[in-house]
Structure 1
Amino acid sequence: MTPNHTPRWSRVPSENDAATVRSNEIDEELKKGRLTIRPKRFVALFGGPGAGRSTFLRQVKLYSSGYDTPEREELGTVIQTSLISAIRLILEGSASISDDPTMQLPLALSSFLQATDLCSDTTTSSEQDQPLLADTIQELLAVPLIKQVIEASPQFQADSSLQYMMGAIPRIMAPRYTPTDIDILRCKFAPAPPIVEILFKPPPLNEYPMNATLVSVRRDNGLQRKWLNLLDEAEAIIFLVDLSRYDQTEYCSETDEQLNCIRAAMREFESICSVPLMRFQSAIVIFNKFDLFAEKLTRIPFTECFPEYTGANEATAAAEYCIQRFQVLYCVFGVRQRDIRTWCTNSLDADQMRVTLREIIVRLRL
């Protein structure tokens, strides 16, 4: 990279609104009573907030075609920009705390702002500025006041992506940084478009070749319900459930109430199964974040959120209870002739996901 070029990490990628355009086009087709845009063979992916749809889609892409060099470079740009934005948010949080008596913060803040301004200057910046910025960020994070802000921030404690990036600053801010598979899975990017389509074309598994489109629909503002009738020819549905949120609630606009997250997922799954036009032949329910679920059970008993549960306060038993609840919902709507399969996994674990995806492929082909 020459000094006259903008560093990759300082460029902000343009927003991709192709999904929004397509959604508007389909609205027009619905008004005319016809639909001309539809994948020939596809699997529909559903899941509520925090269920891990984005990570699942990345795992599918890694397992299928993978990310080529230009795609990784673009993701590297996003990761580096996200890291700098996170630092700025931390600095904003420090403004609510009393002045640092040691004057370390003003000096570190000044150094950070100078480094970011220097690296953003298209006429003077170079790749040599990135190690300078990495050193400056680490010096800033070493200031006691900044440490205090980070330790007191519930958002930081709950954001595993930010924690991951903070632990890899020298590597992420290095010149010509290219994200690894783990970086792609662990780092948080901008919210995905409402509709995401990805080619599900994994390596052939003996007599089980597969070449289909995975269509993911985000659940917000009624968008997912609008698309349900358009997915009537899906070969199968994949529904993601975040087990680790068993003790949390989310707002339900239909009933204007706070609902337990797993119960909300049950309601969403029920609404999909009850759509008369959905003719899918197989349902796959993936209970995600099983590792976090097992860890949290040691602190928050499952019965606190599901008092009707009478089993042991152990991850496998509690997960089996959730599985049975979903299976009952699946059978209620007269779909006993269809197949349902369930898996407990961790979408961040590449080894587990390879096994899960392979089993899904075999199941879909059968």
Structure 2
Amino acid sequence: MPNMKQRSCVDFTGGLDSEVSQAIDEALRENKKSRGTREEVLILGAPGSGKTTLMRQLRIIYDPYTVREREDFKPYIRSSVLHVFRQLHSLLPVETPSILKIPGLDSSPTETLVLTEDIATLIRDWWSRSDIQNLSSDLSLDPSTTHLLDRILPIAAKDYLPSDLDILFCHSDPLPALAELTIPFSEETRYRPILNCVCVRQSLGSIHKWLPIFGEISHVIFVFNLNDYDDLEDTRKTFDLWEYIYSSRFTRFAHIYLIVNRPSTFASKLTNTHPTLNSIYPDADAAPDIAIAITPAAAQAFLLRRFSERDWSGRRRIPRWEVDLMDTEGVRVTMRNMMDELVQTRLVTVCGL
């Protein structure tokens, strides 16, 4: 009967010498390091917050639009030109010279109007008038209005192909209600994660229906348009959404990052003739840091404090970045900083550092 304690030793290296074996081990370690870890990121915000612009910027920076995709944007951009033209026309005094009675432009706002080169020329000539420019300068127009109207002739041209800025300033989008983008950050960090970014453009009233489909989310980017401070309905939706996300069981383990959009526009808007913070938020007078004088910095601190006040437990630290989402380089820097934060939180979670 054989001795059961005696076992043969099998050389699984196949006779490889130690140097070759070490080289294989090193290659395996490097391969493990280079493999990205997928991080699920949900991008949320109230309507008009800038979440769609953020998704477009991520495409521009990390996965540039193809010629076919740019072609798909053409009708939406041309429609945006007509939209901002009519919107601007409605904001000007009634005695302002009008071109809406000219054939081709005399359709009702509900009718589909095609931006032909002839119509574009009519609008360009009207837009370039000194009196229209002077009146428009007093309205603090959205940058999309000036950009689209300044570029109306090339946009209407037959050989037009949308630029990155044209896409950013477009008011509508050929993308579905649920947009998804995978971003490898192989060059930005040693951790080499892969972000699977999902932007949900669904009704906030049905959030209880669609949020559960994402399971337990690991990361949430919440976008807040600071420039909407004087729109009480939008800010109410923002804070209601924030509170829901903050208290939902589906995000209880999520790392939440706050992007504050358009801080410079907010400062300009607050210091001009627009409604003051006190007239919109009565409790602003009671805030000790802004009771004496309203400054853009103090007003911004007051509004952003409403996000931190949702955390009654004090258990979460919410990293925050202020950036104009129309600024591609600013978004690039913000995303790199966010990735550093994401890597740090992952190290704390996994390694307890």
How far apart are 1:290 and its partner, in Å? 0.9
**Equivalent of 1:306, from 257, 277, 281?**
281
- Matched length: 286
The CA RMSD measured in Å over matched residues stands at: 3.8
Determine helix, strand or coil for the equivalent of 1:244. Answer: helix
Spell out the pairing of 1:254-269 with structure 2 (5 A cutoff): 261-269=234-242
How far apart are 1:135 and its partner, in Å? 4.8
Determine helix, strand or coil for the equivalent of 2:319. Answer: strand
Q: 2:56 matched to which residue of 1?
A: 58
* TM-score normalised over the length of structure 1: 0.66
Q: 2:48 matched to 1:73?
A: no
Q: 2:204 matched to 1:186?
A: no
Contact 2:76 2:171 in 1 (8 A): no
Q: Distance in 1 between matches of 2:76 and 2:219?
A: 33
Determine helix, strand or coil for the equivalent of 1:198. Answer: strand
**Equivalent of 1:283, from 256, 262, 276?**
256
Contact 1:218 1:224 in 2 (8 A): no
How far apart are 1:203 and its partner, in Å? 5.2
Q: Distance in 2 between matches of 1:230 and 1:323?
A: 29
Structure 1 runs not aligned, ≥5 long: 1-39, 114-119, 121-129, 251-260
Which amino acid counterpart does residue 328 of structure 1 have in structure 2? E
Spell out the pairing of 1:28-177 with structure 2 (5 A cutoff): 41-83=39-81, 108-109=102-103, 133-139=116-122, 142=125, 160-177=143-160
Q: 2:298 matched to which residue of 1?
A: 317
Q: Distance in 1 between matches of 2:246 and 2:124?
A: 49
Q: Distance in 1 between matches of 2:241 and 2:164?
A: 31
Residues 110, 148 of structure 1: alpha-carbon distance in 2 compared, 3 angstrom cutoff: farther
Q: Distance in 2 between matches of 1:173 and 1:149?
A: 21
Residues 172, 308 of structure 1: alpha-carbon distance in 2 compared, 3 angstrom cutoff: same
Contact 1:43 1:213 in 2 (8 A): yes
Which amino acid counterpart does residue 322 of structure 1 have in structure 2? L
Q: Distance in 2 between matches of 1:201 and 1:245?
A: 33
Q: 2:244 matched to which residue of 1?
A: 271
Which amino acid counterpart does residue 343 of structure 1 have in structure 2? W
Identity %: 27
Contact 2:217 2:253 in 1 (8 A): yes
Q: 2:178 matched to which residue of 1?
A: 195
Q: 2:202 matched to 1:227?
A: no
How far apart are 1:283 and its partner, in Å? 0.8
Residues 273, 173 of structure 1: alpha-carbon distance in 2 compared, 3 angstrom cutoff: same
Which amino acid counterpart does residue 280 of structure 1 have in structure 2? F
Contact 1:109 1:140 in 2 (8 A): no
Residues 149, 362 of structure 1: alpha-carbon distance in 2 compared, 3 angstrom cutoff: same
How far apart are 1:187 and its partner, in Å? 2.1
Deviates most, 71-80 or 190-199: 190-199
How far apart are 1:188 and its partner, in Å? 1.6
* TM-score normalised over the length of structure 2: 0.68
Q: Distance in 2 between matches of 1:45 and 1:199?
A: 13
Q: 2:213 matched to 1:238?
A: no
Q: Distance in 1 between matches of 2:196 and 2:296?
A: 33
Q: Distance in 2 between matches of 1:282 and 1:247?
A: 29
Q: Distance in 1 between matches of 2:195 and 2:172?
A: 25
How far apart are 1:81 and its partner, in Å? 4.8
Contact 1:56 1:347 in 2 (8 A): yes
Q: 1:216 matched to which residue of 2?
A: 199
Determine helix, strand or coil for the equivalent of 1:360. Answer: helix
Residues 150, 194 of structure 1: alpha-carbon distance in 2 compared, 3 angstrom cutoff: farther
